[in-house]
């Protein structure tokens, strides 16, 4: 666990100096002075500009050092070339934190990067916390702290609220600010991190987790340099039950290329981010609308239960079916109402469809009581995580508005924790009125359902299982680099990954003796660090049975090795039983440069090779997580015994994966990669085992 920096002085300053403050309204250096003053910031404001004595009615200082007081936050609004200098002019210890608006740093190439390093060094020496450079700054909305030069607040202020927003991109951030205003969302903080020379998105998430006014965190990321910090921040958010919705760019090939040309440091594989968010309970949003829909919904439906099923009520059977389509695609279940309640509805509306979707038909418009009673019946049944109601054009009816209001009030009074979504076209003031009752409105019922699904189905389980200590005592062979097959298998075995029982023999008689022990047909394989394509040179023999045959095979393999690789170091011949009729799986570990060891699982052959049908998890993880990982592959039906096949021992695969993940975690930094191929899943109840493995240790550097 990395300790979270205390960012109080940066994000809740009682004194702010603006270096490069300007009297010309609209200029970058004028904007924070304007915004702080006009919005009622109650701390001290010190404009700094050597060419002015007064700015926007405040006395102006020629440099930071001329200010007698210590300063919680210095805003740097001068060109990059003068930014360091401005801070240097302050007294050591005078400045606790700084927001650097200036661009012209790392984002512009080598020279700028040098400038940024200089800035970082200075800040470190003087223990100044930095936000930026090349950022739009931030706003603390409850304390009216506008440490930003974005003109967005000039178009109207966002109300203080429970959503903390942090974005790496200033342009995205400004747009998001405007969208929040348009949608009527309330923000606690709005932070843009820019080049992240010091404080990054993860730090801000951790800060927002600690902020009592923030209940939901919305984050926009372009990349991450410190994976552990991000993991900790997301863990803390989950622990505090503050959900996080994240948009991260670069989820496709084209997007990744564009992101790489945009961000200095491209960080890791996008699939790894995907699994990170999944494992740590963050919800990933792929579009700006989704980002806002989910963020907004989380702030209203903050106590939504973890029940992945939906109740649908509609005055149109057709649209009810359209909603069922969307629920199905989002893997929400649609359990039916209990029979008695179905009968009650049919008594009142004979041509209703009382299952789920419940179609109350257009007739219900003439009897709004049916709406309430049916909805209450549905919620009383208790099997729905949320309720979605399609009102069609009746939702915009003036005459029906009091009924709609009453409907929302009654339901939310009785079931305050159950998300209620009304699908109707309503003017903003009515939407807000319903929202105050805890009910969100959507014009598109499919979007309502997608949003609900994201919220109900988010991973709220606790962090990965604590790791057993057993694997810590792994005995390593000498040397470094690539381990041979038997050493690799031994490492796995020590870590609790099941491996095929095997012997290494160095003589014909030992071979025969070993085979006799095994007593079923065996495979024999030459073990040598110098022979890569063993089959091609006669180094592998399959399905050998009986002492004579085994002895003969031993001689043949050795002869073949002597002929084809006379100088090879021969470590012996591996003898192992032939493993019958299992399903070939592959598991592996590689190190992500940002997030550390990543475990991969897939089925052998075309599944991995052609279909790239694999799933990932960050190590370490539990058996439960491993089971989900297996079920994420399309090929899982093969393991489950599709089309009359034997079901495979999925449990044993999951245990193997979890053990591999613990090995990867505990040896992090020692191993570059592990390949277990094939990992054979035997029929259910009979286990699974690695037949071959390759462990590559970190090359000593």
Contact set for a copy of itself, span 74-133 (CB under 8 A)? 103, 107-108
DSSP 514-571: HHHHH-S-EEEEEE-TT---TTTTT-EEEEE-SHHHHHHHHHHHHHHHHHH-TTPPP-
Distance CA 616, CA 101 (A): 38
Q: Which of residues 655-694 bind a copy of itself (CB under 8 A)?
A: none
Distance CA 659, CA 371 (A): 53
Which one of residues 94, 97, 168, 484 is an interface residue with a copy of itself (CB under 8 A)? 168
Contact 277, 227 (CB under 8 A): no
Closest by CA to 312, choosing from 297, 334, 293, is 334
Give Cα 689 distance to the centre of its chain: 31
Which one of residues 11, 46, 61, 177 is an interface residue with a copy of itself (CB under 8 A)? 177
Residue 327 lies near a copy of itself (rule: CB under 8 A): yes
Which one of residues 140, 169, 418, 615 is an interface residue with a copy of itself (CB under 8 A)? 169
* Cβ distance to a copy of itself smaller for residue 40 or 350: 350
Distance CA 512, CA 398 (A): 91
* Cβ distance to a copy of itself smaller for residue 284 or 490: 284
Which one of residues 89, 396, 405, 482 is an interface residue with a copy of itself (CB under 8 A)? 396
Residue 562 lies near a copy of itself (rule: CB under 8 A): no
CA atoms within 13 A on the CB side of 167: 21
CB of 376 to a copy of itself, least distance (A): 22
Residue 190 lies near a copy of itself (rule: CB under 8 A): no
CB of 555 to a copy of itself, least distance (A): 32
* Cβ distance to a copy of itself smaller for residue 453 or 573: 453
Which one of residues 85, 182, 417, 548 is an interface residue with a copy of itself (CB under 8 A)? 182
CB of 576 to a copy of itself, least distance (A): 27
CB of 668 to a copy of itself, least distance (A): 30
Which residues, in sequence order, are CB contacts of 460 under 8 Å at separation 6+? Answer: 238, 281, 306
The sign one gets for the Cα dihedral 290, 292, 297, 298 is: positive
Contact 451, 540 (CB under 8 A): no
* Cβ distance to a copy of itself smaller for residue 339 or 478: 339
Q: Applying CB under 8 A, which part among 122-130, 339-347, 509-517, 606-614 lies near a copy of itself? A: 606-614
Residue 533 lies near a copy of itself (rule: CB under 8 A): no
* Cβ distance to a copy of itself smaller for residue 319 or 386: 319
CB of 9 to a copy of itself, least distance (A): 28
Residues composing the chain: 701
Residue 157 lies near a copy of itself (rule: CB under 8 A): no
The first and second tokens of residue 227, run together, are 């994976």
CB of 338 to a copy of itself, least distance (A): 18
Distance CA 86, CA 413 (A): 57
Contact 438, 301 (CB under 8 A): yes
Distance CA 159, CA 188 (A): 9
Residue 159 lies near a copy of itself (rule: CB under 8 A): no
CB of 464 to a copy of itself, least distance (A): 29
Which one of residues 13, 164, 320, 419 is an interface residue with a copy of itself (CB under 8 A)? 320
Residue 634 lies near a copy of itself (rule: CB under 8 A): yes
The first and second tokens of residue 70, run together, are 């210590």
For residues 372, 375, 376 and 379, what is the CA-based torsion angle, rounded to 10 degrees? Answer: -160
* Cβ distance to a copy of itself smaller for residue 128 or 219: 219
Q: Which of residues 502-531 bind a copy of itself (CB under 8 A)?
A: none
The first and second tokens of residue 216, run together, are 């939901």
Q: Applying CB under 8 A, which part among 195-203, 367-375, 393-401, 657-665 lies near a copy of itself? A: 393-401
Residue 308 lies near a copy of itself (rule: CB under 8 A): no
Q: Which of residues 242-281 bind a copy of itself (CB under 8 A)?
A: 247, 249-259, 261-263
Residue 481 lies near a copy of itself (rule: CB under 8 A): no
CB of 487 to a copy of itself, least distance (A): 28
CB of 364 to a copy of itself, least distance (A): 11
Vertex 74: Cα angle to 68 and 76 (nearest 5): 125
Distance CA 512, CA 694 (A): 27
Q: Which of residues 222-241 bind a copy of itself (CB under 8 A)?
A: 222
Place of tokens 């095994």: 518
CB of 317 to a copy of itself, least distance (A): 3
Tell me, what DSSP letter sits at residue 609? Answer: H
The first and second tokens of residue 540, run together, are 């592998």
Q: Which of residues 422-441 bind a copy of itself (CB under 8 A)?
A: 425
* Cβ distance to a copy of itself smaller for residue 397 or 673: 397
CB of 32 to a copy of itself, least distance (A): 17
Contact 73, 97 (CB under 8 A): yes
* Cβ distance to a copy of itself smaller for residue 105 or 621: 105
Size of the site for a copy of itself (CB under 8 A): 83
* Cβ distance to a copy of itself smaller for residue 326 or 435: 326
The first and second tokens of residue 277, run together, are 């968010």
Contact 141, 190 (CB under 8 A): yes
Supply φ then ψ for residue 137, to 5 degrees. Answer: 85, -155
Residue 606 lies near a copy of itself (rule: CB under 8 A): yes
CB of 582 to a copy of itself, least distance (A): 15
* Cβ distance to a copy of itself smaller for residue 317 or 683: 317
Beta bridge partners of 244: 217
The runs of H, that is alpha helices, within 165-226 are: 170-183, 201-210
* Cβ distance to a copy of itself smaller for residue 214 or 314: 314
Which one of residues 288, 513, 579, 627 is an interface residue with a copy of itself (CB under 8 A)? 288
Vertex 630: Cα angle to 628 and 632 (nearest 5): 70
Residue 219 lies near a copy of itself (rule: CB under 8 A): no
Which one of residues 239, 286, 460, 472 is an interface residue with a copy of itself (CB under 8 A)? 286
CB of 695 to a copy of itself, least distance (A): 24
Residue 353 lies near a copy of itself (rule: CB under 8 A): yes
Place of tokens 């286990």: 687
* Alpha-carbon distances of 82 from 85, 86, 87, 588, 689, rounded to whole Å: 5, 6, 9, 50, 63
Distance CA 466, CA 635 (A): 30
Residue 413 lies near a copy of itself (rule: CB under 8 A): no
Place of tokens 């003589």: 507
CB of 264 to a copy of itself, least distance (A): 11
């Amino acid at each position: 666990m990395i300790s979270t920096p205390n960012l109080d002085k940066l994000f809740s300053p009682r004194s702010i100096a603006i270096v490069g403050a300007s009297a010309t309204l609209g200029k970058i250096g004028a904007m924070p002075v304007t915004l702080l003053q006009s919005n009622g910031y109650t701390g001290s404001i010190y404009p700094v500009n050597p060419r002015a004595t007064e700015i926007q009615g405040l006395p102006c200082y020629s440099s930071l050092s001329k200010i007698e007081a210590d300063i919680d936050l210095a805003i740097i609004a001068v060109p990059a070339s003068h930014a360091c200098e401005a801070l240097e002019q302050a007294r050591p210890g005078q400045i606790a934190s700084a927001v650097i608006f200036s661009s012209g740093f790392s984002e512009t190439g080598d020279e700028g990067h040098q400038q940024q390093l200089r800035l970082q060094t200075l800040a470190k020496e003087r223990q100044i916390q930095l936000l930026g450079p090349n950022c739009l700054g931030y706003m603390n909305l409850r304390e009216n702290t506008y440490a930003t030069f974005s003109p967005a607040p000039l178009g109207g202020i966002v109300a203080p609220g429970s959503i903390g927003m942090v974005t790496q991109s200033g342009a995205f951030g400004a747009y998001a600010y405007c969208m929040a205003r348009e949608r009527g969302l309330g923000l606690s903080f709005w932070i843009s991190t820019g080049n992240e020379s010091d404080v990054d998105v993860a730090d801000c998430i951790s800060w927002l987790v600690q902020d009592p006014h923030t209940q939901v965190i919305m984050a926009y990321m372009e990349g991450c340099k410190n994976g552990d910090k991000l993991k900790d921040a997301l863990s803390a958010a989950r622990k505090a039950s503050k959900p996080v919705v994240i948009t991260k760019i670069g989820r496709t090939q084209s997007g990744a290329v564009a992101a790489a040309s945009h961000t200095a440091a491209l960080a890791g594989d996008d699939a790894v981010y995907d699994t990170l968010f999944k494992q740590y309970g963050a919800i990933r949003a792929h579009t700006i609308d989704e980002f806002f829909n989910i963020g907004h919904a989380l702030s209203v439906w903050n106590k939504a239960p973890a029940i992945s099923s939906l109740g649908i009520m509609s005055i149109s059977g057709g649209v009810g079916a359209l909603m069922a389509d969307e629920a199905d695609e989002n893997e929400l279940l649609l359990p039916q109402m209990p029979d008695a309640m179905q009968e009650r509805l049919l008594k009142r509306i004979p041509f209703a469809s009382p299952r789920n979707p419940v179609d109350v038909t257009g007739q219900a418009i003439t009897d709004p009581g049916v709406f309430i009673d049916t909805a209450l019946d549905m919620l009383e049944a208790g099997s729905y995580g949320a309720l979605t109601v399609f009102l069609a054009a009746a939702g915009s009816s003036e005459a029906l508005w009091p009924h709609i209001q009453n409907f929302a009030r009654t339901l939310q009074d009785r079931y305050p924790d159950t998300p209620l979504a009304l699908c109707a076209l309503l003017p903003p003031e009515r939407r807000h009125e319903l929202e105050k009752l805890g009910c969100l409105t959507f014009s598109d019922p499919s979007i309502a359902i997608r949003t609900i699904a994201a919220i109900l189905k988010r991973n709220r389980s606790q962090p990965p299982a604590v790791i057993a200590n057993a694997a810590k005592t792994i005995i390593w062979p000498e040397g470094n680099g690539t381990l041979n097959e038997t050493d690799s298998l031994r490492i796995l075995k020590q870590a609790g990954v099941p491996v095929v029982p095997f012997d290494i023999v160095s003589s014909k008689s030992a071979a025969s003796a070993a085979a006799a022990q095994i007593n079923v047909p065996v495979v024999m394989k030459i073990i040598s660090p110098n022979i890569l394509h063993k089959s091609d040179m006669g180094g592998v023999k399959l399905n050998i049975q009986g002492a004579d045959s085994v002895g003969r095979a031993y001689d043949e393999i050795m002869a073949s090795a002597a002929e084809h690789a006379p100088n090879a170091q021969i470590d012996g011949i591996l003898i192992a039983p032939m493993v019958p009729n299992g399903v070939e799986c592959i598991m592996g570990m590689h190190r992500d440069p940002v997030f550390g060891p990543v475990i991969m699982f897939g089925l052998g052959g075309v599944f991995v090779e052609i279909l790239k049908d694999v799933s990932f998890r960050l190590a370490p993880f539990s058996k439960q997580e491993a089971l989900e990982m297996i079920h994420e592959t399309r090929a899982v039906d093969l393991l489950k015994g599709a089309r009359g096949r034997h079901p495979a021992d999925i449990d044993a695969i999951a245990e193997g994966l979890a053990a591999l993940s613990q090995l990867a975690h505990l040896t992090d930094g020692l191993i570059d990669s592990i390949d277990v191929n094939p990992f054979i899943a035997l029929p259910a109840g009979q286990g699974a085992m690695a037949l071959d493995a390759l462990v590559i240790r970190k090359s000593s550097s």
